[in-house]
Structure 1
Amino acid sequence: MTDTLTIRRPDDWHLHLRDGAMLHAVLPESARHFARAIIMPNLVPPVVRGEQAAAYRDRILAALPDGMSFEPLMTLYLTEDTDPDDVAAAHQSGLIKAVKLYPAGATTNSASGVRDFDKVRPVLERMAEIGLPLCVHGEVTDAEIDIFDREAVFIDRVLDPVRMSTPELRVVMEHVTTSHAVEYVVSSEVGLGATITTHHLIINRNHILAGGIKPHYYCLPVAKREEHRQALLVAATSGDERFFLGTDSAPHTDANKEMACGCAGCFTASNTMSLLAEMFESKRALDKLEGFTSIHGPSFYGLPVNEETITLTKGSPVEYPAKIETDDGPVTVFEPGFPLHWRVS
């Protein structure tokens, strides 16, 4: 096993940067290691039109510290009122790289999402024509469906019918959490990719619930049984180009995480590369890390790989800040529960 690894600079294909004071505080944590990121549009109000995406991109770039390079890859939030012409124009201009589907009520700031999928069919058909990917939060939100089953039900009830009716549509299943999702991706020959988060490779539902509720491990989709975590780890370290990194790093202040109805999300932007190196090393798959973080994502999105490189070295334990301070309050950095020996140099 090696103690030094040089890879192309990674990208993050699912990232929450928020806005305002939070944006200014967390953006450097991603830009330190990542060259590009697919930026989630679930602000309040959501980013639903091209002009809003352009304005948000400008705010991100204005918040980038001097000396850092980072390219935000913008997305639009799909609603039942989304105009296919606006989507096509934003794509043609080079502004957006994907459209994001949130089933209404599925996660943070998803109230404006889709309830009736027939109403968005014209948008999906236009996206298929122009080659614009659809990023999906793959969960149903029906109250009678157990929260641990919502991803599997979404595949059967929503995703598979959508893909069958619009077979040319390119789809990214974001933050997959189950063996069912992994099997579905593997069984699909073309047009389907999946992101896997850092935290879902590390935690299962016991981390959230055993020995007391751990709010900083609570995320959506919620972590599942250990057998599902193991399936994700096998997929991520397999070298299969259909799987790539999307951290879903989602900052919330401690006050909002630790309240009676706490927000969902794990903040992993600061230490993701150290975490991933540990997990890939545990599977004797460090040679597959570059593909997962730096090659498979650009390939799916039709973008060039980064020419810059980063080097990870193994040594004494790496210390990361426990919290990131923002003007809105502190944000807790994901704690894996084991030492991290890989650092980015």
Structure 2
Amino acid sequence: MNSTLEGNQSSPPFCLLAVNYLETINFCLLEVMIIIFLTVLIISGNIIVIFVFHCAPLLNHHTTSYFIQTMAYADLLVGVSCLVPSLSLLHYPLPLEESLTCQVFGYVVSVLKSVSMTSLACISIDRYIAITKPLTYNTLVTPWRLRICILVIWFYSTLVFLPSFFHWGKPGYHGDVFQWCAESWPTDPYFSLFIVLMLYAPAAFVVCFTYFNIFRICQQHTKEISERRARFSSQSREAGDMQSCPEKRYAMVLFRITSVFYILWLPYIIYFLMESSAGFSNRTASFLTTWLAISNSFCNCVIYSLSNSVFQKGLKRLSGAVCTSCVRPTAAKDSCPKSKGGHV
């Protein structure tokens, strides 16, 4: 009995990256550092985004704020769920078996990233309607319809990956930090094709189609404005510029978020298709592409905070409120001895 325990303790841990671990701590140091670092960034960044949206009412004037907040909540849950592989790599006991933990973790992260992907597609549709049908936009896009759309996004995302529990195949490589996931849960080319046809391809097509037409229409508007400059006064020119610029700028912010999302997810999707179809397998590539894709959950916060001036104002207000709340207790403590001295 003691010999088996000693053998288990002395056996090297399962590490996806081909880097020597430290025998003194007996866990995959590099993997743990990467996952914990990303987890802290994702959780803290998305908590800030959620608080800013609640503290800045102007951000809620845009209908896209519904989808952006949905993405923020989904990304926050991604960060929280990433604590599971972190604890597993640190040899903390998990409440479920490794096989079930691996399946649940892979399913949850796949669903949450599907929510982000479909939300980005819905954002592009929303901006397309706003530019192509500005007069009827408020009647077409209502808060009630937006809430229904968000519920459909969550329901559809949970439904697409549900067959993974019925032995259709692996939904993704998020759980490959668990040994059972990496070695005993194979991918299936038909299930991978099913995911591509039901999620990746439609979302990418919608985004490409809508943003291509959005920028084409914006280009036509700027061309018309430049042609009117010879006919109208400078005042009307400035008014026209002010009307056309906000929509284009906001579309550019959303386009940056969408572009970064697909850039970070492209290596993961390519590896996913290669292993499903050609049987290619590489643990290092699996780990790096997976966590590069998951890092997008933090990149959304950075892009939005750097690109949106209204968000920056809300962030300043939030930081100012936090600073004043921190200063008040210290000021109260400093005033207490003075008041006592005055009474004496």
- Normalised-by-shorter TM-score class: under 0.3
Q: Which has the higher contact order (CA 8 A, sep 6+)?
A: 2
The TM-score normalised by the length of structure 2 is: 0.23
The TM-score normalised by the length of structure 1 is: 0.22
* Higher relative strand content: 1
* Higher relative helix content: 2
